C-alpha cells in the first residue's frame, strides 16, 4: 500500500506535524509527500527525492512559458498520472493537508481518503477564495478526518461522521536535551542574559507589538526570535537592540538554542488566523524544561494554562510580570515534576499509532463492505477498537 500526502508546506521549510506523522507512516507504507507545484523553465514534470526519514518528496513543476491559472490543475493532474504510472502506484491512500489539492486529484480512486486538518487555512493571510468550497468537498468525500487541536475539532465535529482530535504531540527525547548545559551556537553565545526565546514561523499570527512593547519595558532583557519571516514585510518588525532575529534553524538545532534560554515565549496575536491553532511548540518548550509565557490561545489555555504548566498573559505588562516571577524562582523541581507527569502519555509514537489503527480499520471495513453490505460504524465503536488494539 502507498500513502500519498498532499501538502501546502515544503518538506524542508519547518519540521512540524506533517513531517513527524509522515515519517512514522513511512515505516508502514511507501510514503510520498507531494508539495505545491513550482514554475520553472523545464517541461511539465516532477522532481523526486528520498529523505533520511524514508519519505519520497515529489515536487511538480510547470513550464513558465506556457503557464496559465486556467490550465494549471489539469496539467498537475496529468503530471500526477505520469508519476503514478512511472512509480507503479496502484493501491494507495490519499492524505490531505490542503483542500486545494482536491482540484487536481478528483479523478483518482484511493482506497481511503484522510484529511488531517492541522489549521483553519481559510483564515490565513492570502488564503485563496476557493479554499472554503474545496474544504467542504473534502469533508464530504473524506473517510477519516483528524484535527490538529481540540478547538478545531469543536469547530468541525458536526461536519463529518468520522472525525478525531489529535493535538500536535512531541518527541520528548529530542527536546529534553535542552535541560542539559549545551555549548551555545555562535549566533547566540554572545547575547547577554536573561534570554526570552521563540522559535517558529514569524508571520501574520505573530504579535509584533507585544514583543516590541516588552522589549521597550525591559531593555536589559534579550528577546531571541528564531524562524523564517513569511507573508509579512520584514521592515515592519521592531529593530530594538535587545531583539535578535537569528533566522530559520533546523529541527536538530532547536534543543541547543533552547538550552540557552531562560524563558520560552508563545507570542501569538489574537485574531482569525490564531483562533483554532494548537501550537506544537507548547509541549516542546515544556519538554525542554523551559518556563512558558503565552498569549491567550485557546488550545494553550486548555489544557496547559488550566493545569498551571504555562503562564497566560494578555499584554506586555503581564508578560513582564510572569517572566519576572520565573526569573526570580530558583527551584523549578516541583513544576518540572508536574510537567513530566503531564507529558508522560504524550508522544508522536502514540499519536501516529492511533492514527495508523484508524486508517487500518477503514481499509479493512471497506474490504469487508465489498463482500457484505454493513452499516458504517459510529465514532465510539471505532475508538473502542483503537483502544483495544484491533488487528
**CATH number assigned to the domain comprising residue 16:** 3.40.50.2000
Task: Dump the DSSP string for 160-229.
Answer: -SSEEE------HHHHGGGGS--PPPHHHHTSPSSEEEEES-BSTTB-HHHHHHHHHH-TTSEEEEES-B
Of 109, 139, 165, which marks where a domain is finished? 165
Q: What is the DSSP letter of 250?
A: -
Whether 225 and 282 map to the same domain: the answer is yes
* Residue scoring higher pLDDT (255 or 390): 255
Whether 379 and 275 map to the same domain: the answer is no
| Whether pLDDT at 121 is above 80 | no
Q: Which three cell numbers stand for residue 311?
A: 503562564
Instruction: State the pLDDT at residue 295.
Output: 98
Exposure letters 174-196 (e unless 16+ CB within 10 A, then b): bbbbbeeeeeeeeebeebeeebb
Whether 98 and 196 map to the same domain: the answer is no
- Looking at residues 177-182, what average pLDDT do you find? 94
Provide the pairing of β-strand 56-63 with 243-247. unpaired
Q: Minimum mean pLDDT among 28-32, 197-201, 295-299, 382-386: which range? A: 382-386
Question: Model's pTM, two decimal places?
Answer: 0.90
Cα 107 to Cα 109: distance, rounded to the nearest angstrom:
7
| Whether pLDDT at 374 is above 70 | no
Residue 103 makes CB contacts below 8 A (sequence gap 6+) with 73, 130, 134
Exposure letters 324-362 (e unless 16+ CB within 10 A, then b): eebeeeeeeeebeeebeeebeebbbeebbebbbbbbbbb
| Whether pLDDT at 64 is above 70 | yes
Instruction: State the pLDDT at residue 375.
Output: 58
- Looking at residues 315-334, what average pLDDT do you find? 97
Task: Dump the DSSP string for 108-170.
Answer: ---SEEEEEE-S-GGGSTT--TTHHHHHHHHHHH-SEEEESSHHHHHHHGGG-SSEEE-----
Whether 222 and 141 map to the same domain: the answer is no
| Whether pLDDT at 367 is above 90 | no
User: How deeply is 84 buried, as exposed, middle or buried, from its count of CB atoms within 10 A (0-12, 13-18, 19+)?
Assistant: middle
Please write the tens of the pLDDT for every residue from 243-274. 999 999 999 999 999 999 999 999 999 988 89
Position 130 confidence tier, pLDDT thresholds 50, 70, 90: confident
| Whether pLDDT at 235 is above 60 | yes
Q: Minimum mean pLDDT among 14-18, 121-125, 204-208, 273-277: which range? A: 121-125
Whether 92 and 20 map to the same domain: the answer is yes
Cα 57 to Cα 33: distance, rounded to the nearest angstrom:
5
| Whether pLDDT at 123 is above 90 | no
Instruction: State the pLDDT at residue 151.
Output: 93
Q: Give the count of beta carbons closer than 10 Å to the beta carbon of residue 200.
A: 21
Number of domains comprising the chain: 3
Q: Minimum mean pLDDT among 33-37, 61-65, 118-122, 354-358: which range? A: 118-122
Instruction: State the pLDDT at residue 389.
Output: 41
| Whether pLDDT at 382 is above 60 | no
* Residue from 10, 53, 7, 14 nearest 280 by CA: 14
Instruction: State the pLDDT at residue 208.
Output: 95
Of 110, 130, 165, which marks where a domain is finished? 165
The C-alpha R_g of the chain, in whole angstroms, comes to 22
| Whether pLDDT at 385 is above 60 | no
Whether 289 and 192 map to the same domain: the answer is yes
What is the chain's mean pLDDT, rounded?
A: 93
In degrees, rounded to 5, the angle at the alpha carbon of residue 94 between the alpha carbons of residues 90 and 97 is 155
- Beta bridge partner(s), residue 244: 224
Whether 191 and 336 map to the same domain: the answer is yes
Instruction: State the pLDDT at residue 386.
Output: 56
Whether 357 and 338 map to the same domain: the answer is no
Instruction: State the pLDDT at residue 128.
Output: 79
| Whether pLDDT at 41 is above 80 | yes
The single residue listed with the C-alpha cell 468541525 is 156
Whether 150 and 255 map to the same domain: the answer is no
Cα 355 to Cα 346: distance, rounded to the nearest angstrom:
14
- Looking at residues 154-177, what average pLDDT do you find? 94
Whether 190 and 125 map to the same domain: the answer is no
Of 103, 137, 165, which marks where a domain is finished? 165
Residue 47 makes CB contacts below 8 A (sequence gap 6+) with 58, 59, 61
Instruction: State the pLDDT at residue 368.
Output: 82
Q: Which three cell numbers stand for residue 65?
A: 512559458
Query: In the chain, how many H helices and how many E strands?
Result: 14, 15
* Residue from 168, 130, 171 nearest 149 by CA: 168
Instruction: State the pLDDT at residue 388.
Output: 36
Position 390 confidence tier, pLDDT thresholds 50, 70, 90: very low
Residue 283 makes CB contacts below 8 A (sequence gap 6+) with 168, 169, 170, 343, 346
| Whether pLDDT at 233 is above 70 | yes
- Looking at residues 6-16, what average pLDDT do you find? 94
Whether 306 and 264 map to the same domain: the answer is yes
Q: Can you give the residue range of the structural domain that contains 286? A: 172-343
Whether 352 and 339 map to the same domain: the answer is no
Cα 344 to Cα 349: distance, rounded to the nearest angstrom:
12
- Strand (E) or helix (H) holding 14: none
* Residue from 327, 341, 286, 334 nearest 310 by CA: 286
Amino acid at each position: 500500500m502507498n500513502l500519498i500526502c498532499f501538502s501546502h508546506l515544503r518538506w524542508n521549510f519547518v519540521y512540524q506535524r506533517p513531517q513527524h506523522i509522515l515519517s512514522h507512516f513511512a515505516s508502514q507504507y511507501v510514503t510520498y509527500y507531494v508539495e505545491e507545484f513550482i514554475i520553472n523553465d523545464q517541461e511539465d514534470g516532477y522532481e523526486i527525492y528520498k529523505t533520511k526519514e524514508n519519505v519520497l518528496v515529489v515536487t511538480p513543476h510547470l513550464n513558465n512559458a506556457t503557464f496559465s491559472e486556467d490550465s494549471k490543475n489539469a496539467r498537475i493532474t496529468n503530471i500526477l498520472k505520469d508519476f503514478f504510472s512511472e512509480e507503479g502506484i496502484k493501491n494507495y491512500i490519499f492524505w490531505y493537508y490542503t483542500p486545494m489539492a482536491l482540484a487536481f486529484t478528483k479523478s483518482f480512486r484511493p482506497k481511503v481518503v484522510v484529511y488531517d486538518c492541522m489549521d483553519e487555512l481559510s483564515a490565513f493571510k492570502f488564503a485563496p477564495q476557493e479554499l472554503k468550497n474545496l474544504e467542504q468537498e473534502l469533508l464530504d468525500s473524506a473517510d477519516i478526518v483528524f484535527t490538529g487541536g481540540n478547538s478545531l475539532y469543536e469547530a468541525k465535529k458536526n461536519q463529518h461522521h468520522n472525525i478525531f482530535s489529535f493535538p500536535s504531540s512531541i518527541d520528548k527525547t529530542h527536546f529534553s536535551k535542552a535541560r542539559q548545559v549545551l555549548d551555545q551556537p555562535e549566533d547566540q553565545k554572545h547575547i547577554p542574559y536573561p534570554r526570552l526565546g521563540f522559535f517558529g514561523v514569524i508571520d501574520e499570527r505573530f504579535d509584533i507589538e507585544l514583543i516590541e512593547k516588552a522589549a521597550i519595558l525591559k531593555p536589559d532583557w534579550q528577546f531571541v526570535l528564531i524562524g523564517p519571516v513569511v507573508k509579512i514585510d520584514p521592515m515592519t518588525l521592531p529593530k530594538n537592540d535587545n531583539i535578535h532575529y537569528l533566522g530559520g534553524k533546523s529541527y536538530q538545532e532547536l534543543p541547543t538554542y533552547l538550552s540557552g534560554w531562560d524563558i520560552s515565549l508563545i507570542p501569538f496575536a489574537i485574531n482569525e488566523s490564531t483562533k483554532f491553532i494548537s501550537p506544537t511548540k507548547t509541549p516542546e518548550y515544556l519538554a525542554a524544561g523551559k518556563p512558558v509565557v503565552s498569549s491567550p490561545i485557546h488550545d494553550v489555555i486548555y489544557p496547559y494554562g488550566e493545569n498551571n504548566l504555562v503562564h497566560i498573559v494578555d499584554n506586555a505588562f503581564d508578560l513582564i510580570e510572569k517572566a519576572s516571577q520565573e526569573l526570580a524562582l530558583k527551584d523549578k523541581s516541583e513544576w518540572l515534576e508536574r510537567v513530566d507527569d503531564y507529558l508522560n502519555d504524550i508522544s508522536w509514537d502514540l499519536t501516529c499509532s492511533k492514527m495508523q489503527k484508524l486508517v487500518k480499520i477503514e481499509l479493512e471495513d471497506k474490504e469487508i463492505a465489498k463482500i457484505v453490505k454493513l452499516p458504517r460504524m459510529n465514532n465510539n465503536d471505532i475508538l473502542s477498537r483503537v483502544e483495544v488494539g484491533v488487528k
